[in-house]
Amino acid sequence: MSGTRVTADAGEGEQPVAHHLRHPCPGCATPIQIQRFACGGCWRRIPGNLRTAIARSWGRRLNGVTGAVGEHLSAKTAAVEWLEQHPREEGHK
Ligand SMILES: [Zn+2]
């Protein structure tokens, strides 16, 4: 267990955002930064194993590991599918 630190979940996105990225979470219009997968609220809703897969493959991608780009893409796709199956209203209590 190395405990690799990844910046994917850092911050709450309070600063103005220049790039409006397509948001992966249905029903959520929160602007997110280009390098971030989702806003803080949506990111926290994603199951831990999916977040780990995204963060881990992102770290490998930064390190230039072969195949990490595709790995990161499929990890994000899995998370987007999860968000589509769990719209924001359901998770709001
Ligand atoms: Zn969101």
Residue-level pLDDT at 12: 47
Phi, psi of 26 (to 5 degrees): -60, 135
Residue with tokens 């990161």: 72
In a domain, 53, yes or no: yes
In a domain, 69, yes or no: yes
Report yes or no: 20 and 31 within 8 Å, Cβ to Cβ.
Answer: yes
**Mean pLDDT, rounded, for 63-83:** 94
Distance 42 CA to ligand 1 centre (A): 4
In a domain, 51, yes or no: yes
In a domain, 1, yes or no: no
**Mean pLDDT, rounded, for 21-43:** 80
Assess whether pLDDT exceeds 80 at residue 21: no
Distance 24 CA to ligand 1 centre (A): 7
Percent of residues, the chain, with pLDDT higher than 70: 71
Residues 6+ apart with CB under 8 A from 87: 26, 27
Print the domain residue range for 80: 7-91
**Mean pLDDT, rounded, for 59-77:** 94
Report yes or no: 28 and 88 within 8 Å, Cβ to Cβ.
Answer: yes
Q: How confident is the model at residue 82 (pLDDT cuts 50, 70, 90)?
A: very high
Distance 8 CA to ligand 1 centre (A): 14
pTM for the complete prediction?
0.67
In a domain, 2, yes or no: no
Name the domain count of the chain: 1
Neighbours of ion ligand 1 (CB under 5 A): 25, 28, 30, 39, 42
**For residue 50, with 0-12 CB atoms within 10 Å meaning exposed, 13-18 middle and 19 or more buried, which class applies?**
middle
